[in-house]
Amino acid sequence: KKDSPGAGARNEALRAIKRFGRTLWRRWSGYHRRSRVETKMNCMKLLGQKLMSRDFDRQTAELQVRIAILNRFTALGIPVTQPVG
């Protein structure tokens, strides 16, 4: 719909995709990077919606532990490839 909020930006993005292709549009607009950040933030929320600690330094430590857990999960999910032959 032309009168909905954000319609101009959406239509402009669709025109750019049609003209340059989806791959170039993603690189140009930073879409892929935003998508990856949104996915990681969703993973952070799955580890808990709220912080348990009241003290700021302990909250910082709690977030660092969550990030370390996510990084470890990510590292476990990356396949290790080896050349054959």
Helix H, strand E, coil C: the string for 38-72 is HHHHHHHHHCCCCCCCCCHHHHHHHHHHHHHHHHH
Residue 30: give the domain boundaries: 6-77
Q: How far apart, in whole angstroms, are the C-alpha atoms of residue 82 and residue 85?
A: 10
- 23: tokens are 């791959």
Whole-prediction pTM value?
A: 0.55
Number of domains in the chain: 1
pLDDT in tens, 2-44: 777 788 888 888 999 999 998 888 888 888 788 888 888 888 8
Instruction: Tell me if 14 is assigned to some domain.
Output: yes
Instruction: Tell me if 84 is assigned to some domain.
Output: no
Instruction: Tell me if 1 is assigned to some domain.
Output: no
Instruction: Tell me if 83 is assigned to some domain.
Output: no
